[in-house]
Structure 1
Amino acid sequence: MTDSSPARAHPQIHTAPRTDVSQNQGKFRTHFNFPGRAVPDHDDHGYGPLATVVESFMDPGTLIRMHQHRNEEIISWVPEGVMRHDDRQGNNLVTDPDHLMVMNAGSGFWHAEETLAEDPPLRMLQIFVRPHSLDLEPGIQHEPIPDATPNEWRHLFGPEGSDAPLFVHNDVHFYDCRLDAGATTTLPSRSGWDTYCYVFEGAVELGEDSLGHTESAVVTADSDVSVTAAEESTVVAFSINPDAPVTRQGTIGR
């Protein structure tokens, strides 16, 4: 029988090196990963609802003063250390390896971020998701997350109504995984959706491709793709509906 299935039925992995888009504000430094740039001839720096994944560094004793976000979802993932948050709604929150924060900025949300002098140096991911609609009701979610199980994906946020502990206003699911050296798992996938994978620590084999520290890939395939750790590694993955309606008027995640 002749295979007449579309090309996306065959695994396609588009890899990207460490980003060269960065900002240095002294005690606060950021590196912007744009998933859409990994895919040849893709006309968007983002990929569907996922605008950018920002690797952020804050030295001890750093204050990012009160500022506003609009029309974007900002997720703070802190695998080590602490990130301290306060806002004009009266919240004083600490995000750490046991908690995840989602800021649904909507029509406008003011907040500040800080590390104290006695806090350890902070390296985290700040994830920017494009909402499906403009000027939604703003709010913040700050929840404990399940304990990590070695070599298994942990589901941390998803669209409203999913079984993840926190939600965003569009079709993106987020997972993390800590892999022992030599361990293998399967990249999260959903039929008709694509997956963006980022190596936070370590190095992995993604299918037949190699990804090192801070390298990433967009996988456009419906079939399973293996992830094998060449060394102890921490990997995050985003399952994305590339056809989801998006807005592009976020303060940062346009």
Structure 2
Amino acid sequence: MDDSAPTRTQPQIYTAPRTDVSQNQGQFRIHLNFPGRAVPDHDDHGYGPLATVVESFMDPGTLIRMHQHRNEEIISWVPDGVMRHDDRQGNELVTDSDHLMVMGAGSGFWHAEETFADDPPLRMLQIFVRPHSLDLEPDIQHEPIPDAVPNEWRHLFGPEDGDAPLSVRNDVNFYDCRLDAGATVTLPSRPAWDTYLYVFDGAVTAGDDETEIGYTESGLVTAEDDVSVTATEESIIVAFCLNPDAPITRQGTIGR
């Protein structure tokens, strides 16, 4: 045996059940997922630049009145239905399965959200990224996104110097994937970065030991080996490939 040969470790996957942190405001309900809580003895509810991933529900005919955010990047991912946005900069935008919105709150950004009475019930993710610096220039991006291809990752946002359709002001890449039952993909990865997986719909197994991750459950992969994900039923999954050592700020209105 060659003692100088490198050893290949099994991927470390920390899993977390559906969050028990929620708020119910009647027509508007949220469940807050904290990626850092998946790791034992981790002293931060977030994980590096990823502060929280919020599962949000809005009934038809719901208005969330004009309010301000500061010092956080807020991404609205809508796999089905519509989320209507307006703001004090005069934007009136509709985010749906064909569009993604990134709101860089920076030093302060006022906006409102709404569903009309004839809109379908809305379930979406609102993702809170910690920016690298405080009081950046407020900014909003609202762009069409590539058509989804079954069983393939779709890269939707990333750092400002990347090639994703939209960008955030820190080291986070975001992907989504619609998996057929029995289909397998490899988690997005990058050397020295970690990957957070969230199952929006369905159920999957991950890694060589086939770790089970079910509906609205999550897993954090902290090793550099490739990790495969297999759908045990038709599934929608999202993944965040992020730099855990990126410089961060923690003064966001919600994410912190």
Q: 1:230 aligns with which of 222, 227, 232?
A: 232
Cα displacement string for residues 3-22 of structure 1 (whole angstroms, at most 9, x for unaligned residues): 68699x54100000000000
For residues 250 and 6 of structure 1, what CA distance do their matches in structure 2 show?
41
TM-score by length of 1: 0.98
Report what 1:165 is aligned to.
Answer: 165
Structure 1 counterpart of 2:216: 214
Q: In the alignment, residue 198 of structure 1 is paired with which amino acid?
A: Y
Distance 2:142 2:129 in 1: 17
Kindly state the Cα deviation for residue 161 of structure 1 after the two structures are TM-superposed: 1.3
Mapped to 2, the partners of 1:228 and 1:2 lie a distance apart of 34
Relative to 1, partners in 2 of residues 1:67 and 1:12: Cα closer, same or farther, differing over 3 Å?
same
Q: Structure 1: how far apart are the matches of 2:255 and 2:221?
A: 21
Task: Give 1:221 shift.
Answer: 1.0
Partners of 1:10 and 1:222 within 8 A in 2 = no
Q: Distance in 1 between matches of 2:163 and 2:223?
A: 24
In 2: Cα distance, 1:61 partner to 1:239 partner: 35
Q: Distance in 1 between matches of 2:84 and 2:6?
A: 50
Residue type matched to 1:211 in 2?
Answer: I
The residue type equivalent to 2:194 in the other structure is D
Instruction: State the secondary structure of the residue aligned to 1:43.
Output: coil
CA drift at 1:71: 0.2
What pairs up with 1:16-55 in 2 under 5 angstroms? 16-55=16-55
Rounded Cα–Cα distance in structure 1 between residues aligned with 2:4 and 2:118:
61
Question: Secondary structure in 1 aligned to 2:37?
Answer: helix
Q: 1:158 to 1:3 in 2, by over 3 A?
A: farther
Q: How many equivalent residue pairs?
A: 253
- Give the letter for the 1:210 counterpart: E
Relative distance call for 1:43 and 1:4 in structure 2 (3 A) is farther
Secondary structure at 2:252's aligned position in 1? Answer: coil
Match of residue 149 from structure 1: 149
SS in 2 for 1:133: coil
The 2-side partners of 1:2 and 1:10 are apart by 19
The Cα shift of 1:186 comes to 0.3
CA distance in 2, matches of 1:52, 1:6: 34
Letter in 1 for 2:3: T
SS of 1:36's equivalent in the other structure is: helix
Q: Provide the secondary structure at the position in 2 that maps to 1:134.
A: coil
* 1:15 match: 15
Which structure 1 residue ranges, 5 or more long, are not aligned?
Answer: none
Number of the residue aligned with 2:175: 175
Aligned equivalents of 2:97, 2:49: Cα separation in 1: 25
Q: Spell out, residue by residue over 1:172-193, the C-alpha distance to the aligned partner (whole angstroms, 9 max, x if none).
A: 0000000000000101100100
Q: Which amino acid aligns with 2:220?
A: V
Instruction: Give the superposition deviation at 1:2.
Output: 3.4
Matched residues in 2 for 1:15 and 1:201: separation?
16
Measure, in 2, the Cα distance between the counterparts of 1:53 and 1:11: 23
Counterpart of 2:102? 102
| Structure 2 letter corresponding to 1:171 | D
Q: Does 1:117 align with 2:129?
A: no
Runs (4+) of structure 1 exceeding 6 A deviation are 3-7
Letter in 2 for 1:252: I
Amino acid at match of 1:163: D
C-alpha distance in structure 1 between counterparts of 2:165 and 2:104, whole Å? 15
Question: Closer, same or farther in 2 for the Cα pair 1:231/1:138, shift >3 Å?
Answer: same
Change in Cα spacing, 1:106 to 1:182, as seen in structure 2 (3 Å) is same
Mapping of 1:181-200 within 5 angstroms? 181-200=181-200
Q: Residues 3 and 180 of structure 1: is their aligned pair in 2 closer, same or farther, counting only changes over 3 Å?
A: farther
Gaps of 5+ in 2: none
- Residue 132 of structure 1 is matched in structure 2 by 132
Aligned to 1:2: 3
